[in-house]
Amino acid sequence: MRGFVVAVVLLAAALYARGELSNEQKQKIKDYITDCISETDIDREVVDQAHRGMFQDDDKLPEFSLCMSKKMGFRDDSNRIRVDVVKEKISEFVEDDNLAKEIFENCFVEKSTPEESALESFKCFQRRTPDHFSFL
């Protein structure tokens, strides 16, 4: 299964900075992807292309990104970034404190809408670690 996950930024950082995700984590991510594709009715090809760094101008892509962010627990019921959760996850998966700080400060910035924020978070992470999600 191929796809991309905005809110898995922190888990993907594990692949980049420390190595492997557990099989359980991988399956959970795949399930979230499937759920969010279904919930947002986004074309699977749009998701696959975004995973490869080719972002189409599709109205459903920001919605998909927000869905993933919420399923991962990185946004609260009001769609605000849960700073404490994000920082905790970064510290669990990224050994390099400078990289963790860079990811948080640059990739978790509120934009004009929660959907735009979630999409921009993924794009930011994609630029910093283009070889992530090899298991999808």
Share of the chain above pLDDT 90, in %: 38
101, 86 contact by CB (below 8 A): no
Share of the chain above pLDDT 70, in %: 76
Query: 14 falls in which pLDDT band (50, 70, 90)?
Result: very low
Predicted local confidence at residue 130, as pLDDT? 58
Give dist(CA 75, CA 7) in Å, integer: 9
135, 5 contact by CB (below 8 A): no
Q: Where are the beta strands (DSSP E) in the chain?
A: none
In this model, does residue 22 exceed pLDDT 80? no
Predicted local confidence at residue 118, as pLDDT? 93
Q: Regarding predicted confidence, which is higher, 133 or 65?
A: 65
Domains of the chain, start order = 9-128 (1.10.238.20)
Burial track 62-83 (b if 16+ CB lie within 10 A, e otherwise): bbbbbbbbbbbebbeeeeebbe
- What confidence tens digit (pLDDT) does each residue in 41-59 have? 999 999 988 888 888 899 9
Predicted local confidence at residue 13, as pLDDT? 43
Work out the average pLDDT over 53-67. Answer: 93
In this model, does residue 79 exceed pLDDT 50? yes
